[in-house]
Structure 1
Amino acid sequence: MLFCQGVTFRIENGELVIARILHGGMIDQQGLLHVGDIIKEVNGREVGDDPRVLQEMLQETSGSVVLKILPRSRLSLSLQVFVKCHFDYDPADDNLIPCKEAGLKVSSGDILQIVNQEDVNWWQVGRST
């Protein structure tokens, strides 16, 4: 998997698939890409199955970017899930987190909202308001 500007990709059946989108990031706020979407082309050039090629294509681009995607099915339930923290956590102290800026510092007793649990190994949360 490769993390790029708030999006993580995986290769599935020889295609580049969006595996995760960082909640609250630019891609999430735009709402145009979704987990499961397949990236086919950037500005008319085929991407293939290498996330590094996609990253290079985007870096070389100036001006507008036109993506050709194969969207996943958009059927989903909008279920709100909340959890209560039972311990303190600081991503700055976590040696296993690949992107400390994406981590959320929490204290025991905090109430968090699960905003994305599509990946069984990596849930995204936000503070409950």
Structure 2
Amino acid sequence: MMKSVAAYLVNRRVLIAPVVRTTSGVGLEINPQNLGSSPDHKEVEAGLATAFARSEWMVPHPAQSEWKGFFDPFLKAAGVRSLKAFMATAQLLNVEEKDGEWIVTPHRNLGAKEGFEPILQDQQRLPDLSAVAHELLKLEQ
């Protein structure tokens, strides 16, 4: 199974979350780590490593009644109350580990109604988590 992590810069905070698989095969971003507004390189690299380790988890597929509020932990970690406020400043990098390489895909923010879309032409293959941490920290600039 491919490991995957979502890394956000939102409301001047770095959030890193594992993408786990449900028993139905759906990828879910869960348990965001809030690294704060100015994490250093080592903190980001450690956060990525933790999220990648957790991305191997398989979780039960949520029942229909469980979807409402599913993104609330991300709103709380970002210090905002609504998806609209979250999306107002959010930048997203998706990171996948495949065959010892880290594939980093930036996403275009289309707003609260449309979400994100990958910018495939800007995708990068990086040799290690240190390089991934460097790319994530570049979002802050």
TM-score for the superposition, normalised by structure 2: 0.25
Structure whose alpha-carbon radius of gyration is higher: 1
Bigger relative contact order, structure 1 or 2, given CA contacts below 8 A and separation 6+?
A: 2
TM-score for the superposition, normalised by structure 1: 0.26
Larger % of helix: which?
Answer: 2
